[in-house]
C-alpha cells in the first residue's frame, strides 16, 4: 500500500466514529481467519507475526483506556454488579481475577504511568512489561516519587523494557522498587508470608492440590523438586508436571521414612491400608507365578520375582481400602504390600475387636540390611537411586510360605520404579549376579540413557 493511499485511508478513518472504527478493525481481523497462513512464504509469515504482535499491543493499550473510561462513566453500576471488575468479568466471560488485574493495570497506567501507557500504545513494549510496571512501580509514595527521577525513573525502566523480555523485566522492576522503598519491601514480605496456603482436597478419584507460596518459599520448593527429579532419561516419557508430582510425593516419603516427623510417636506416620483377610489371600493366589517362572532361589538357577497379577482371581472380593474408604486396585495393593508391615486385627460379628496381633514384616530388619548391602542402589536398569529412597520389592507368592524367607526373594528398587514394576507387570530374574527386568511380552528393559 502506497503512502498516499495510507494517508487517504487515515483521513477516511478519522471521519468514522470510534465504534465504527472498532467494527472495521473487527472485520479486517475476521477476514484473516479465512486466510491460508500455511501457504505464506517464510518472510511474509514472519512479517505477519510481527504485525499481529504490534496489533495486539496497541489493542491492549486501547482496551486499557476503554476500561477506565467505562468505569468512570458509571453506566456499569446500573446492572447491579458489585464492582466494576465483577461487571467486566460477567460481560466478557473472563476470570474474575483477570478482570481485577486488567482493571487495576488500566487505572495505574492512567494515573501514574503515562509514559508506559504511551509505549504500549506505540507497540514498543508488551502488555507483560506494562503489567510489571503497574504491579511493582506504583506501590508506595516512595516508588511513585522515584518514577519522576530523570536518571532512574520511568524512562530508565522503559529503556530496559525494550531490551529485556517480560519475565526478566518484572525482576528488574521488583529490584528497582525494593531499592526505592525498602520499608515497602519489608511490608510486602510479611504480607506474602501471611498469604501462603496449600489446599489438599479429596476428589472422586484422587486429590486436588492447589495453593500459593511466597517467592522465597516457592523457590525453595522448586529447588527441592528440581533436585529430586534430576535429569530426565531418554526412556522417561513422563511430562515435567508428572515428574514434579512424583518428586513431591518422594519428598514426603523421605520425611516419613526418616522418622524425624513425630519422633516420639509410638507409630511413625505412614499410610494405613485396610485389607480383609480373604482379599489378601486372593491377592497371593492372583500373584502365583507360572510353573516355569518360580526359580529355585539360587543365583545361577535364576531367582524370579514377578509382579504379574491375574485380575480374574480378584473378582467379587471386597477391595482393600485407604482410611477414608477409597478402594485400591489389586496391583496397587500388591505394590503397597511389598514394603508394608502387616498388623492382624480380628473383629467379632458386632464390630468388636477380638484379637490384635503384633506387626510383622515380610522381610526382617536383618534381611533388609542384607539386601541393601548386596544391591547398594535401585536395581532398575540405569537407575542409581540410593537405599534411602527405595524399598524391597518381592513376589507376594512368597508370603504364603512365611514371607521373605530368603534375601534371594527381594530386590532393592526406588519408589518410582517400584510403581513401574507393578503397573507394567514386570518380571525380575537374578542371573549370575545381575537382575534382569523383562516385560510381559518377554522383551528386556534396557538401561535408561541420560539425555
For residues 397 and 306, what is the distance between their CA atoms, to the nearest angstrom? 9
DSSP single-letter state for residue 380:
S
Please, where are the H alpha helices in 230-339?
240-258, 277-286, 330-337
Locate the domains of the chain by residue range: 12-193, 207-270, 277-438
Reduced to 3 states (helix: H, G, I; strand: E, B; else coil), residue 360 is strand
Reduced to 3 states (helix: H, G, I; strand: E, B; else coil), residue 253 is helix
Q: Residue holding cell 525494593?
A: 178
In this structure, what C-alpha cell is assigned to residue 76? 456499569
Cβ count within 10 A of residue 390: 26
Q: Are 158 and 115 in contact (CB under 8 A)?
A: yes
Question: Quick one: which H or E segment has residue 413?
Answer: strand 410-414
For residues 342 and 402, what is the distance between their CA atoms, to the nearest angstrom? 12
Q: Can you state the angle between helices 166-180 and 182-195, rounded to 10 degrees? A: 120
Reduced to 3 states (helix: H, G, I; strand: E, B; else coil), residue 394 is strand
For residues 8 and 5, what is the distance between their CA atoms, to the nearest angstrom? 5
Q: Pick the closest to residue 417 from 307, 287, 284 (CA basis).
A: 307
For residues 42 and 398, what is the distance between their CA atoms, to the nearest angstrom? 65
Q: Are 380 and 347 in contact (CB under 8 A)?
A: no
In this structure, what C-alpha cell is assigned to residue 107? 487505572
Q: State the DSSP string of 8-61.
A: HHHHHHHTS-HHHHHHHHHHHHHHHHTS-GGGS-HHHHHHHHHHHHHHHHHHHH
Q: Are 173 and 113 in contact (CB under 8 A)?
A: no
pTM of the model: 0.51
Cβ count within 10 A of residue 120: 27
> In the chain, what is the greatest distance between 2 CA atoms, to the nearest angstrom?
98
For residues 243 and 221, what is the distance between their CA atoms, to the nearest angstrom? 14
Q: Are 97 and 32 in contact (CB under 8 A)?
A: no
Q: Are 268 and 259 in contact (CB under 8 A)?
A: yes
pLDDT in tens, the chain (451 residues): 555 454 555 567 777 888 888 888 888 888 888 788 888 888 988 998 998 888 999 999 999 999 999 999 999 988 888 899 999 998 888 888 899 999 999 999 999 999 999 999 999 999 999 999 999 999 889 999 999 998 999 999 999 999 999 988 988 888 898 888 888 877 776 676 677 888 988 887 788 999 888 776 787 788 888 887 777 766 777 888 888 898 888 888 777 766 666 555 444 446 677 888 888 888 888 876 654 444 444 444 557 788 788 888 888 788 888 766 677 788 878 877 776 666 666 666 665 655 555 555 566 677 777 888 888 888 988 888 887 777 788 766 555 544 445 677 788 888 778 888 888 888 888 887 889 999 889 899 887 554 3
For residues 380 and 434, what is the distance between their CA atoms, to the nearest angstrom? 11
In this structure, what C-alpha cell is assigned to residue 182? 525498602
The tens digit of pLDDT for each residue in 53-106 reads 889 999 999 999 999 999 999 999 888 888 999 999 988 888 888 999 999 999
How many contiguous H segments (helices) and E segments (strands) does the chain have?
17, 11
Q: Are 200 and 209 in contact (CB under 8 A)?
A: yes
Cβ count within 10 A of residue 229: 20
The tens digit of pLDDT for each residue in 129-159 reads 999 999 999 988 999 999 999 899 999 999 9
Amino acid at each position: 500500500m502506497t503512502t498516499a493511499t495510507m494517508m487517504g485511508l487515515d483521513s477516511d478513518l478519522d471521519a468514522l466514529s470510534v465504534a465504527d472504527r472498532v467494527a472495521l478493525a473487527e472485520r479486517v481481523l475476521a477476514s484473516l481467519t479465512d486466510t491460508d497462513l500455511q501457504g505464506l512464504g517464510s518472510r511474509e509469515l514472519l512479517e505477519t507475526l510481527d504485525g499481529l504482535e504490534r496489533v495486539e499491543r496497541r489493542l491492549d493499550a486501547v482496551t486499557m483506556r476503554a476500561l477506565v473510561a467505562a468505569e468512570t462513566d458509571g453506566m456499569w453500576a446500573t446492572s447491579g454488579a458489585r464492582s466494576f471488575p465483577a461487571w467486566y468479568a460477567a460481560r466478557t466471560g473472563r476470570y474474575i481475577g483477570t478482570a481485577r488485574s486488567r482493571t487495576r493495570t488500566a487505572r495505574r497506567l492512567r494515573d501514574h504511568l503515562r509514559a508506559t501507557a504511551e509505549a504500549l500504545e506505540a507497540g514498543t513494549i508488551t502488555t507483560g512489561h506494562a503489567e510489571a510496571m503497574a504491579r511493582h512501580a506504583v506501590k508506595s509514595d516512595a516508588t511513585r516519587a522515584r518514577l519522576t527521577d530523570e536518571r532512574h525513573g520511568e524512562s530508565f525502566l522503559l529503556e530496559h523494557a525494550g531490551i529485556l523480555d517480560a519475565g526478566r523485566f518484572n525482576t528488574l522492576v521488583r529490584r528497582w522498587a525494593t531499592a526505592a522503598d525498602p520499608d515497602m519491601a519489608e511490608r510486602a514480605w510479611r504480607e506474602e508470608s501471611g498469604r501462603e496456603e496449600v489446599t489438599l482436597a479429596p476428589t472422586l478419584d484422587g486429590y486436588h492440590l492447589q495453593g500459593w507460596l511466597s517467592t522465597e518459599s516457592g523457590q525453595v520448593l522448586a529447588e527441592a523438586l528440581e533436585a529430586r527429579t534430576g535429569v530426565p532419561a531418554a526412556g522417561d516419557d513422563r511430562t515435567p508436571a508428572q515428574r514434579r508430582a512424583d518428586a513431591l510425593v518422594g519428598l514426603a516419603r523421605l520425611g516419613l521414612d526418616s522418622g524425624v516427623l513425630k519422633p516420639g510417636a509410638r507409630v511413625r506416620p505412614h499410610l494405613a491400608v485396610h485389607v480383609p483377610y480373604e482379599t489378601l489371600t486372593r491377592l497371593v493366589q492372583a500373584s502365583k507365578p507360572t510353573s516355569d517362572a518360580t526359580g529355585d532361589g539360587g543365583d545361577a538357577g535364576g531367582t524370579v520375582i514377578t509382579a504379574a497379577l491375574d485380575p480374574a482371581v480378584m473378582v467379587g472380593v471386597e477391595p482393600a481400602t485407604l482410611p477414608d474408604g477409597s478402594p485400591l486396585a489389586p496391583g496397587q495393593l500388591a505394590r503397597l504390600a511389598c514394603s508394608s508391615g502387616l498388623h492382624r486385627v480380628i473383629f467379632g460379628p458386632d464390630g468388636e475387636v477380638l484379637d490384635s496381633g503384633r506387626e510383622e514384616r515380610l522381610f526382617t530388619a536383618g534381611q533388609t540390611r542384607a539386601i541393601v548391602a548386596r544391591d547398594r542402589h535401585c536395581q532398575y536398569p540405569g537407575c542409581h537411586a540410593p537405599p534411602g529412597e527405595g524399598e524391597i520389592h518381592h513376589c507376594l507368592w512368597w508370603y504364603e510360605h512365611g514371607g521373605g524367607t530368603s534375601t534371594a526373594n527381594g530386590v532393592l528398587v526406588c519408589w518410582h520404579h517400584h510403581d513401574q514394576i507393578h503397573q507394567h507387570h514386570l518380571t525380575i530374574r537374578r542371573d549370575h549376579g545381575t537382575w534382569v527386568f523383562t516385560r510381559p511380552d518377554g522383551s528386556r528393559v534396557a538401561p535408561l540413557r541420560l539425555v
